[in-house]
Amino acid sequence: MQPSPLVSVVIPARNEAGNLPALIAGIETALAPLGPFEILVVDDASTDDSVAVVQGLRATRPHLRLIRHDRAGGQSAGVHSGVRAARAAICLTLDGDGQNPPEELPKLAAPLLAPGSEGVGLVAGQRVGRQDTAAKKWASRFANGLRGWMLKDHTRDTGCGLKGFRREGFLALPFFNHMHRYLPALFARDGWQVVHVDVTHRARGAGRSNYTNFQRALVGAVDLFGVMWLIRRRKTARVLPGQEDL
Q: What domains does the chain contain, in order, with CATH numbers?
A: 7-132+157-208 (3.90.550.10)
At residue 199 the predicted structure's pLDDT band, cuts being 50, 70 and 90, is very high
What pTM value is reported for the model? 0.82
What CA–CA distances, in Å, run from 66 to 15, 40, 42, 51, 93? 14, 6, 6, 8, 15
Secondary-structure breakdown of the chain: helix, strand, coil percentages, each rounded to the nearest 5:
40, 15, 45
Output DSSP code: residue 174.
P
* Percent above pLDDT 70 for the chain: 74
Q: Cβ(41)–Cβ(14) under 8 Å?
A: no
| Least confident stretch, 27-31, 88-92, 242-246 | 242-246
At residue 128 the predicted structure's pLDDT band, cuts being 50, 70 and 90, is confident
Rounded to the nearest 5 degrees, what angle is found at the Cα of 37, between the Cα atoms of 36 and 42?
165
What are φ and ψ of residue 124, in 5° steps? -105, 125
The count of other CB atoms within 10 Å of the CB of residue 79 is 25
* Distance from C-alpha of 41 to C-alpha of 64, rounded to nearest angstrom: 8
Residues facing residue 198 across a β-bridge: 126
Average pLDDT, the chain: 85
Q: Cβ(153)–Cβ(144) under 8 Å?
A: no
